[in-house]
Chains A and B, each alone.
Chain A
């Protein structure tokens, strides 16, 4: 198949359509605007519907409606918009309603910076909303991977009947790279069973009834257990990680998304100088690849750098949960849309290698 030279945001929008997306609602926010712009024209061509929501609150609830009726649906946004969607995400994780949620991350906190950054790690992995729930979350580091993961995210959302997050960063959304697009999938509306139906209308369980409020405590608690079991299955089956040049590594960088791209350049630079560095790159940030860190041999690995486009460091606690204090961990980040160069990261590595990791 031939490759096309595409901008990240447009490439993932087309990947969504090919993955069966037939409904999109979203509200403009930089740096993801090309996604709704592209889909506003593209979805009607394939018999789908596009709605520019009046807000992210409305948009996520429109996606809930489309998903309830069985349509493969998606929304995209960036940090502040994801915060507004959090009540909806909590509902979707619970009900559950399958859909793909794209967060093209920008600098935070608050309204923040419109340029790309990686500051929504904790939101994505720990608390995308209230009420305690988990989202399968992919973090692509190239446009090709973003395309493949968005396409996959639709299948996974529908396999688990749960919302699935793709945590891109603004850099990947705005880059242009050659990509191969996946084939067009023809999918029909599919009215999957809803857990709440027999509880809301016991006389007629064939009705599709959905609510996140089940008045019987035991039914509600059972339902919490059903959700917990789903999270456990996803944790067991859906972990993805890339281990790059790890076989003989004496130093390790842990990074995802754009940071991981920079880290790879740094690693090649350092290896040219005879310094053995490897990369652990979470492809899913939830579930997190703790095992890749747990299995590190502390008699060989002398130090770990947790590298993110974020100040403060956000992923470091997960890194340490895998390392369990056996190996020193340093952090380095830039923020507000400033991306570190591979030389800058090399300098950081050398500082630690020559001083505290001796």
Chain B
């Protein structure tokens, strides 16, 4: 397996420019490119695959530039959003294609195709044609076809977006299992933050052709560097406050931020714990399955809190007018 690195990549179209100063997927890691539609995720993936030539910059596999290598010499596996199974070939032929291109002996091909189909739990469909398979089955065949050649890098472009929610979750954990099993360096493209959080070792959040932040899922979730990242990953409390002598005051609460002046303070609703006390005024509340969400007013600012129903220290049917508040994790944007 290898590491994949992008350095100084630029790709320009009439109305779009992709700029990636530096991005590295470590050996055996699952790195997700996450961002809204049109932000350049697919383009980045295609540059790594060699299907698109950047205007400038380098793609390195294990430190070696591969810019001049055509896709068929990069030893990669790709799964496209619409799977791109060859319609005129059976499942067996589809999966065997890459091995045939590598001129492996017949026996070896049969053995490896069989193993790949086992890996994706799809034995016995060898002689079907793609159109005779369900979407989920097609997706697994596409995965088997990409994996059977033992690529150094696996590239997945929204591989689950054409499936319905149930199958999506099942395949998601299956992809993760296979990726862990094979320890294959994987770059995964999605615009679904839940999928990204569930799967990734690290996530690179993209916006308008740029990478906003790279980090572990929880690190991005609780410590985003920009408002975009904060908002894209889930619901947020973002407050404009003043810091004096490195301390921000919010009602009776105090936060050490280490800087002074105007700051934008961020925290997730889950980081706000409601307890008995007198810090905030309860504006409104909403009971969700197993959880409860409060709208609270502190010092004229409205914040949201979300927590487990079982953690609430009072009778939720008759909450008090004022509650105590504890904010465990926050970030300054």
State whether these chains interact.
no
Listed in ascending order, the chain A residues whose CB lies under 8 Å from chain B are none
Listed in ascending order, the chain B residues whose CB lies under 8 Å from chain A are none
